[in-house]
Amino acid sequence: MKLLWRLLLLVLMSTKQSVAQTEDGSELAEGESAEASVVKLGVPDTRQSCAMWMGGVPGTPGHSGLPGRDGRDGLAGPKGDKGDQGQPGEKGEHGEKAEPGLPGPRGFPGTPGVQGSPGNSPASHHSAFSVGLTSPVSATNVPIRFNKVFLNEQRHYDGISGKFRCVLPGVYFFTYHFTIYPRDAKVGLYRNDRPVLFTYDQYKERDLDQASGSVLLKLQAGDEVWLQVYGEEEFSGIYSDNTNDSTFTGFLLYPDFTEENST
């Protein structure tokens, strides 16, 4: 009976020995040589029939194998922290002057300007009058006063004094037309107390004569122009009634605002 237990113990010990897993999955007891495994694959192991053989002493560990091949690259690591800001670099040299660029697009219209001050009205450059007699002239050596007004919008002709007073410097045209009756007539056109133009008519009895005259004068502001009988009463034949007129007309032909005429 003791002998049976020993045998059983030996069997258990042999099975406890470390076993190696062969490549094909079959178990190979430690200590078995490759040759033995070849024999196991191709040739029936006659030793298997002897299940009761004793195991040997464990062999010494083998030498270290050759280093294995490098492994594959690992996955990319996590993004690192943001670095500190670097110091500003030195100022660079001036670059070469570039060619002028293309013109930019047209801008928006600007805002309207402030309204200007009113200019001189063309009407302010007007000066004209046309007047006539309402009765024969009786006084001599004084301005003839024309009281019949055809036109005197600017009132530059004064019916009280009988004088035209220049307000706008410039060139003026004057003309007059007289009915002569019942005596001779001699009339002078005066400019500032000096006659510049004369008209003379000898009256013939039972006739009705007419006389006229015209002139261009360059006047300055303040100059006065008028008509007056030149001489005594025997030359005062300037006549007028309801159907016969004697007239005096003048107007500004063109203004002249040069320094010489503006004083």
Q: How far is the CB of 199 from Ca ion (least distance, A)?
A: 11
Applying CB under 5 A, the span of 83-91, 148-156, 161-169, 209-217 interacting with Ca ion comes to: 209-217
In the bound state, the residue with its beta carbon closest to Ca ion is: 209
201 or 223, CB closer to Ca ion? 201
Work out how close the CB of 203 gets to Ca ion at its nearest, in angstroms, rounded to a whole number: 6
Q: For residue 10, give the 3-state DSSP assignment.
A: helix
Alpha-carbon gap, residue 19 to 180, rounded angstroms: 172
Region of 13-21, 79-87, 107-115, 200-208 interacting with Ca ion (CB under 5 A): 200-208
Reported as half-sphere exposure (CB side, CA atoms, 13 A), residue 177 has a value of 7
- x-or-dash pattern for Ca ion, window 148-187, by CB under 5 A? ----------------------------------------
Q: Residue 90 or residue 205: which is nearer to Ca ion going by CB?
A: 205
**Which residue, 141, 127, 111, is CA-closest to 226?**
141
**Which of 146, 127, 126, 128 lies closest to 136 in space, CA to CA?**
146
Residue corresponding to tokens 């406890």? 16
Q: What is the DSSP string of 41-84?
A: HHS--GGGG-TTPPP-PPPPPPPPPPPPPPPPP-PPPPPPPPPP
List 32, 158, 209, 256, residue binding Ca ion (CB under 5 A): 209
By CB under 5 A, which span of 98-106, 122-130, 134-142, 198-206 interacts with Ca ion? 198-206
Residues that bind Ca ion (CB under 5 A): 201-202, 209
